[in-house]
């Protein structure tokens, strides 16, 4: 188990391999489809972003409203493939990590390798549990998007797996091959 602190550095990313288990600590940002579209528009217009991308992680999540006594509601990952279209541009602009669920397409995986970034997988269906790792949530951009607004989250021991590393390894392919050849003794 690796304990990682944001922002991510090349040295940390170089040591991560698909399948590694990790706990994330520090600041991460939320963004889903609508927010990604707005970020790409700003990049294309060479306009400042609502947060610096360099070394940062975007969590593909649209958290539910916070219940009484909590800083955030359920915060489970959304399907990452929906954001693959935006991934190369964001990585080129300095983003170093993403958190979501599910397999990435070839273009996203190639961009992860090219720009030396990392894709983390969080467990889908565990949003209530994952929200307990978030101890601060601050809306920083696009409140009109509701749960798809961009939040700055402070996290402690957020459990993730490395899905895709800078070496081209893919947890989903590794797992498929492992089970394809497995049998009970």
Q: What is the mean pLDDT of the chain?
A: 95
Rg (CA), the chain: 16
What tokens were used for 106?
């070839």
The pLDDT assigned to 125 comes to 85
Dist CA 77 CA 101 (whole Å): 6
Average pLDDT over residues 67-96: 96
Q: pTM (2 decimals)?
A: 0.94
Specify which residues 24 forms β-bridges with.
4, 158
The residues spanned by each domain of the chain are 20-180
Catalytic residue among 32, 36, 96, 103: 36
The pLDDT assigned to 109 comes to 98
Tell me the pLDDT band of 174, cut-offs 50, 70 and 90: confident
Q: Is residue 36 annotated as a catalytic residue, yes or no?
A: yes
Would the CA dihedral through 43, 12, 119, 23 be positive or negative? negative
Dist CA 128 CA 110 (whole Å): 32
Dist CA 180 CA 102 (whole Å): 19
The CATH number of 20-180 is: 3.20.130.10
Asked whether 57 and 30 are in contact (CB, 8 A), the reply is no
List C-alpha distances in Å: 146 to 35, 47, 132, 154, 184.
10, 23, 21, 19, 48
Reference 47, options 141, 147, 116, 144; nearest CA is 141
Dist CA 10 CA 147 (whole Å): 31
């Amino acid at each position: 188990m690796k304990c990682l602190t944001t922002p991510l550095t090349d040295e940390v990313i170089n040591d991560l391999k698909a399948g590694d288990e990790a706990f994330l600590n520090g600041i991460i940002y939320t963004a889903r489809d609508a927010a990604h579209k707005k970020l790409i528009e700003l990049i294309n217009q060479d306009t400042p972003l609502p947060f610096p991308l360099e070394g940062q992680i975007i969590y593909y999540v649209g958290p539910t409203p916070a219940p009484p006594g909590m800083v955030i509601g359920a915060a489970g990952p959304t399907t990452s493939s929906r954001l693959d279209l935006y991934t190369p541009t964001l990585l080129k602009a300095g983003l170093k990590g993403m958190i979501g669920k599910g397999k990435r397409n070839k273009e996203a995986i190639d961009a992860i390798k090219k720009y030396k970034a990392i894709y983390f997988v969080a467990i889908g269906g565990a949003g209530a549990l994952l929200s307990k790792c978030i101890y601060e949530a601050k809306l920083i951009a696009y409140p009109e998007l509701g749960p798809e607004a961009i939040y700055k989250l402070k996290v402690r021991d957020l459990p993730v797996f490395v899905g895709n590393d800078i070496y081209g390894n893919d947890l989903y392919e590794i797992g498929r091959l492992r089970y394809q050849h497995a049998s009970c003794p």
